[in-house]
A and B are shown apart, each in its own frame.
Chain A
Amino acid sequence: MAFLQLKSVGQTYFSKTSATTALEDISLSINEGEFTSILGPSGCGKSTLLSIIAGLLVPTAGSVMVNNQTVNQPHPKIGYMLQQDYLFPWKTIEDNITLGLKLRNQNSKEHIQAAFRLLKEIGLEHTKSKYPSELSGGMRQRVALVRTLATQPKMLLLDEPFSALDYQTKLKLEDLVSSTLKEHGKTAILVTHDIGEAIAMSDHVILLSSNPGRIFRTFKIPETLKSLLPFEARQHPDFSATFQQIWEELEHIEQNDHEQETS
């Protein structure tokens, strides 16, 4: 049974002058433990889709089901990680990572201890009583990962979580996130516009076309790459072949867009 199921989800935004369809007829299902990337040109509604899955936005059409239950508000088994860390500058690292537990009323001793263990796992135990402004961008994003994992979600939604980081930090963090999620057996959906990142991290890549956002194609990442850490996967010969394939499809989407515009 699929963990997450989307049934012809659509989203239309209304303004005084127009109605814009951001997403149309998105159906997909994701099994537990899978890592799926959603790839697409900017403005294809990737982040909107993630907000819908997170339960922050109720779709104008279709439905989202987790374990066969309809999601229409933030689900306790789904964690959401944003483009930037958005750690609260007025809270210490300790208070930041336990925020979710506090809000979900799970702040028992065990849960808090588990959060601290996670912080130790990613090598930032010494920052507990520091403030976010005292940490580097990469460290802050790692803390944000701990904050998301602290409530022990089954599925993680990652909204371009590495896009604000420098290249080196980004590569290191990809490895860390990938191995941490695998170790804890988490399901994950990553939204990105970086083809390499999508291939290196995931089991499936879903390509969205834009205006309105629709599923254009779904790729399976070769077994040879799946088992490797993102950094190693990037070095593998199969990587560039897959990259080429997805690249061409993306070109396709752009061409279609152009034709639509000119016709």
Chain B
Amino acid sequence: MSKTITNKKHLEYLLSIKKERRNIRIVQLLIFLSFFSMWEISSKQGWINPLLFSSPSKIWSLFLEKASDGSLYIHVAFTLGETVLGFILGTLFGTLLAALLWWSPFLSRVLDPYLVVLNAMPKVALGPILIVAIGPNFGSIIAMGILISVIITTLVVYTAFQNVDENYVKVVRSFGGDKKQCFKEVILPACFPSIISSLKVNVGLSWVGVIVGEFLVSKQGLGYMIIYGFQVFNFTLVLMSLLIIAVMATLMYQGVEYLESKLIKHHS
């Protein structure tokens, strides 16, 4: 095949990829627009109860109002701060605990049944106890965010530690490296991909923990706005908070994905 024909074929191929991607975007946008317009129309026409389901235009005007009087920022900032702290600390403690288990096989075998029970238990059920123990404040919300993600992180990361190819450890040991150096040079860096992927799971989990924590503590934050809106039957407020949470959680997930692409470029 001559070069010009090959080039032409290649261009056609690139064009077809581009076209497909554009079609996907268009359909995604259509779904988005039709969902919100259907919502708006059915609410206006009374097909759905506007008191319960509100409407996008009402939510938007409430959003503008709350944004202009500044009260929204405080709530968003609180929830976001708690979530970020919860998921960073959850991942950190989980990884530390996994390291401890890796360090001492004895401890790992002793703790095994306890970890299974703790993992199976619904952590949000501990909420009331946390509030009694720590107090109805910031602290118990963070604790909730950590608690919900720490055990699963421990289990996932510990499994990853165990699955590192023994031969890398052998290389370090043949150079006289001790257990600490094996961990630092091999086990931990080899498991960065698993740690990052547990970070991804923890973004979602921490939102659950923090929102439930705010339900219970009921002082401020998006969770508080939801529970307050529910109590005073202001579902516009509830739905607005929900939409903000959806946007925030997505942004955070994207952030972790960006981090992933930066950190583990060379792991294969």
Contacts and interface: CB of A to CB of B under 8 A. Distances in A.
Contact of B266 (A74, A76, A99, A131): A131
Given A80-B171, A100-B175, A103-B185, 17 more contacts: A73-B176, A74-B174, A74-B175, A74-B176, A79-B174, A84-B167, A86-B165, A86-B168, A88-B168, A88-B189, A90-B267, A99-B175, A103-B172, A103-B176, A104-B175, A133-B268, A151-B175
Contacts of B171: 80, 82, 86, 99
Interface of A: 54, 56, 73-74, 76, 78-80, 82-84, 86, 88-90, 99-100, 103-104, 131, 133, 151
Contacts of B167: 82-84, 86
Nearest to B193: A90
A76 B177 CA distance: 11
B61 interface: no
Interface string B58-80: 00000000000000000000000
Contacts of A79: 174
A88 B190 CA distance: 9
Interface of B: 165, 167-168, 170-177, 181, 185-186, 189-190, 192, 264, 266-268
A38 B56 CA distance: 78
Contacts of B266: 89-90, 131, 133
Nearest to B189: A90
A54 B266 CA distance: 30
Contact of A54 (B174, B189, B264): B174
Nearest to B263: A90
B176 A104 contact: yes
A104 B177 CA distance: 7
Nearest to B165: A86
A99 B185 contact: yes
A104 B174 CA distance: 10
Given A82-B170, A99-B185, A133-B266, A90 B175 contact: no
A54 B190 CA distance: 24
